Every structure is written in structure tokens, then in C-alpha cells.
Amino acid sequence: MIKPKYHVFICNGGKIAGDRKGVCHARRSLEIIEKFISEIDERELSADVMVNAASCFGICAKGPVVAVYPEGVWYGNLTPDDVEAIAEEHLEGGKPVERLLI
């Protein structure tokens, strides 16, 4: 069983019916997911970080939303440009990015 140090869940705006027209999806969450995967690979963190797309978290006003576990750190209003800071400061450095927290 894989036991990553961090598990990153990224809202992709999916609703129960499978509709991908949510706020996070409309605000480029797919690009954010792709950027996380790229950053994890480039930084050789694949053994320590698992990335998963998630359905709607229900806090659309803060979307796109990312949750990092096991700490339960939540980031909001993200853009693809924010991913590098999260990868560097949080996933590599162990310190959440304060300016992005919700």
C-alpha cells in the first residue's frame, strides 16, 4: 500500500451527476491539476505526494480549491501560477503557503 507524505485533492468542479460545469472547472482547475502533476514529477516527489482530482467541495466561492492531507490544509482562489509556490514551500519545505490559505 502506498503511504504518501502528502495527498493533494484538487476540485475539478464535478457534481454528483458528473457535470463538469462547476466554478472550479470554469476557473481552470484542470490546468491546476496538470500543473501539480508536472511540478511533482519535476521535483521528483512522486514517492511522497499523491495527486487526485476531486468532485465539488461545496465552497465554490473560494474555487479553485485544493486540500492537502494529512494536515488538512485548504487553499483557495488558486490559479495555475500558485502551484509552484505550494510545491516548493509546502510539499518540499513542509510549510503551508499562508497567502493562499482559506
Query: Residue 1 falls within a domain, yes or no?
Result: no
What total number of domains does the chain contain? 1
Torsion from C-alpha of 81, 38, 11, 95, nearest 10 degrees: -70
* Per-residue pLDDT at 76: 97
Query: Residue 61 falls within a domain, yes or no?
Result: yes
CATH number at residue 87: 3.40.30.10
pLDDT of 44-101, one tens digit each?
Answer: 999 999 999 998 898 989 999 999 999 999 999 999 999 999 999 999 999 999 999 9
Domain range for residue 85? 6-100
